[in-house]
Chain A
Amino acid sequence: MAILEVHHIEKHFGATRVLEDISFDLEQGQALAIIGSSGSGKTTLLRCLNFLEKPDQGTISVAGNLIFDAADPATQRESEVRKKRLHFGLVFQSFNLFPQYTALKNVTLARELLAQEQLDFKENKKKILEDIQADGRELLAKMGLSERADHYPSQLSGGQQQRVAIARALALRPDILCFDEPTSALDPELTGEVLRVIRELAEQRTTMIIVTHEMAFARDVADQVIFMDGGVIVEQGDARQVIEHPREERTRQFLSRYSEG
């Protein structure tokens, strides 16, 4: 069964329709790349999955459980939305690290706050917090940032900041990790280190959705690709197939602009 099923998502900003009848499935352990020009609705779609925007129509199911239904207000209650969000992790284009915390604290903060809701938190406080710390250090080590754990974001390069942000998203063990143009805010010489980390995650079968402008990366790392234009899915299918042999004329035009550049 698909870990994520998205059906008929529609979203308006005022009178403008930014998403129209978006449907797709994602299997556990697969990586999905969403490509398309700016303003095609890619980022809005990702934000809908993370409940940062509320779709006007459609449903979202994770592992067979309906977690959002635009027609059912009961699925949209603030207290429940907060828990459902944890199915998804999101890595932002502009990192959005918390500037007043060290790299390690950025990674551990959310888990520490969640742990406070545990029933046995008071009794086992020390042990729980130590475990979270150890996990956080391990995640940073995975990102190649062991030496930077006690640095503040302003002391890190863009590529390092984005890797901390990836560790922060992974710390809550989301079912599906989403990337919103993770390298678009980086200098070209820094994109490599971030893409390498995402590639490793893909090799470890992390379920991912990646909005990206890096076509070669999408082709090599993703299993599936969705090409969006004007708020609709124009073409979807096997990543290599779609990027190397697109069926639709619009996809072909879009891709040719990239191969020229």
Chain B
Amino acid sequence: MIEFFTSSTFQTVLSALNSGFLKTLQLFFITLIGALPLGLVISFGSMSRLAPFARPVHWFLRRQKRAPGRIAKALIAFRPIRLICRLVVWVIRGTPLVLQIIALFYVPGIQRWFSWPSGESGRMMAVCVAFIINYACYFSEIYRGGIQGVPKGQQEAGQVLGMTKSQIFRHITLLQMIKRIVPPISNEIITLVKDTSLARVIALQEVIWMGESFMKGNSGIAGLTWPLFFTAVYYLIFSGIVTVLLGKLEKKLDFFQ
């Protein structure tokens, strides 16, 4: 048994899996750093009340002393920012992440719009962009639920105390929203740990790609199946750590209701 762990085969496999897992971690953290704030921006967009035609249409109707017809009502309710954001969220959440990764990596080059840097760094870049956009859309819906779940009376209490909109968000809504979203966000983050393996579809050499390579042949080793299954250990340990940390965060916010 001990001989196995000290064998050169094991050492080779382990260091290959380690380097693969490093890429997995990189992808994981870059996605979080990008998607957590971008999701907030999208959630604001999808709640935007900007209606550019509302004022002129109301004004026109008043001048003409007419009740709003179907077209007028549609124009008043037209909120372009909200519409665009919700459309993007629908498309991104409604199609497979794998499809988005493939499209984002190959299409710009084929269409000659731009091309990703060659080699592993270009793959990593494309995959990061795809993951950030995809996860930001999921996060945005969770944020929206969190913000809209804070009772309206909280905002009104801030308003009558003379606070500005941004003060109300920063000092009142934000922490209450975070408390609400920690459980659903935790779910998404655990999913992200495992979703990183989808990057192999454009041959990013993350941990599963590495594990599989020893079946096909890598560093003179072929026909080994255990390295592929051994990758599960990495995921289990990592998702275990993430679960514990997020649980601690949840506990930390227990001081209020």
Contact = CB atoms under 8 A, between A and B. Distances in A.
Interface of A: 50-52, 82-83, 85-86, 88-90, 92, 94, 96-100, 109-110, 113-114, 152-154, 168-169, 172
B175 interface: yes
B160 interface: yes
Given A100-B175, A109-B171, A154-B256, A52 B159 contact: yes
A92 B161 CA distance: 12
Given A100-B256, A113-B171, A86 B156 contact: no
B176 A92 contact: no
A90 B160 contact: yes
B154 A98 contact: yes
Contacts of B171: 109, 113
A52 B161 CA distance: 12
Contacts of B176: 99-100
A85 B159 contact: yes
A93 to B, nearest CB: 9
Contact of B255 (A109, A113, A152, A168): A152
A51 B176 CA distance: 24
B172 interface: yes
Contact of B162 (A92, A99, A172): A172
B256 A92 contact: no
15 contacts: A51-B160, A83-B162, A92-B153, A92-B157, A96-B151, A96-B157, A100-B256, A110-B161, A152-B255, A152-B257, A154-B256, A168-B161, A169-B160, A172-B161, A172-B162
Interface string B55-89: 00000000000000000000000000000000000
A98 B153 CA distance: 10
Given A85-B162, A96-B151, A99-B256, A52 B172 contact: no
B164 interface: yes
B256 A113 contact: no
B163 interface: yes
Contacts of A110: 158, 161-163
B148 interface: no
A179 B164 CA distance: 22
Most chain A CB within a 10 A radius of its CB, from B161, B164, B167, B257: B161
A113 B160 contact: no
Contact of A99 (B156, B158, B160, B257): B257
Contact of A82 (B162, B256, B257): B162
Nearest to B162: A86
Nearest to A168: B161
B252 to A, nearest CB: 12
B108 to A, nearest CB: 43
Contacts of B153: 92, 94, 96
Contacts of A50: 160
Contacts of A169: 160-161
User: Can you list the 7 inter-chain pairs with the closest CB atoms, starting with the nearest?
Assistant: A110-B161, A96-B153, A96-B157, A154-B257, A90-B160, A99-B256, A100-B256
Contacts of B160: 50-52, 85, 88-90, 169
Contacts of A85: 159-160, 162
Nearest to A81: B159
Nearest to B164: A82
A88 B156 CA distance: 13
Nearest to B165: A78
Contacts of A172: 161-162
Contact of A52 (B156, B163, B255): B156
Contacts of A88: 160
Contacts of A99: 176, 256-257
Contacts of B256: 99-100, 152-154
B72 to A, nearest CB: 15
A89 B158 CA distance: 11
A14 to B, nearest CB: 12
Nearest to A98: B172
B91 to A, nearest CB: 34
Given A96-B153, A152-B256, 12 more contacts: A52-B160, A82-B163, A85-B160, A99-B176, A100-B256, A109-B171, A110-B161, A110-B163, A113-B163, A152-B255, A153-B257, A172-B162
A96 B159 contact: no
A70 to B, nearest CB: 14
Nearest to B179: A100
A10 to B, nearest CB: 16
